[in-house]
Structure 1
Amino acid sequence: MSYLPSDLKYTDAHLWVRAEDDGTVTIGLTDHVQLQLGTIYSVEAPTVGEHLDVGEECIAVEAEQTNLEMFSPISGEIVEINEDLVDSPTLINADPYDDGWIVQLRPDDISELDDLMDVDDYQEMIEEEEE
């Protein structure tokens, strides 16, 4: 069973989103999807300063089981990427919600978070996928 923090928002593409105190949001892969992917070999993220729109391709993951392209759950400007993933992409496998975060962005409209799933809705979606 995967670990799902209750204070995060989730997408149907298995990304988590955390609103930070400084007004940015942090985005990463959920524990559920990293378990399905197996060992993660590489992660490609947008560059700092790049602007993303909701639904725009933003993260590419190469893993043991498959390769994934992920789409931005929220619009905004990339303010930081997790440089540690360049040399250690398995940080996502080891700690997807802390050391394994992928990007931080400054949202255009923080209310876009309201369109994402809470932990209960995400858990329900996972259970439906597994049926």
Structure 2
Amino acid sequence: MGECVGYQALSSSEWVKKTWIARALENGDVDVHVFPTDLGFEKAKNDYNKLWDQAFGTVPYPKGMTDAQGSSMYTQLACHARYVFKLPNGEWNTHESWDMESWRPDVSWDYGMNPATWLIHKCNWRN
């Protein structure tokens, strides 16, 4: 991402313990890193709207985001929540955070959430 400015906040919500937002100085791209609680890793797949609300409950939504960028990031977050699982070593396959990027295209819900296409994109689709 290069040089950026950002902000973060801890949360006492059920599924999200921290949200960190960074904006690239060069081009304005936004990265959002959501750090789920243990319960979030396990249960957030049951209600994507609740997860989204908890992710942005303690930090301001990034200014200047288009509807398409917001939609893409919502689908990315839902995808991470849906396809998270524990690895044999006890760690989560998505690591400690679910990361969304504003520069990713706004794909259809079916493409973003389909198990067959997930095997290809792993919630990180490209143009």
What TM-score does the superposition give when structure 2 sets the normalisation length? 0.38
TM-score, L = length of structure 1:
0.37
Write 1 or 2 for the structure with the bigger share of strand. Answer: 1
**More RCO (CA 8 Å, sep 6+):** 1
| Higher share of residues assigned helix | 2
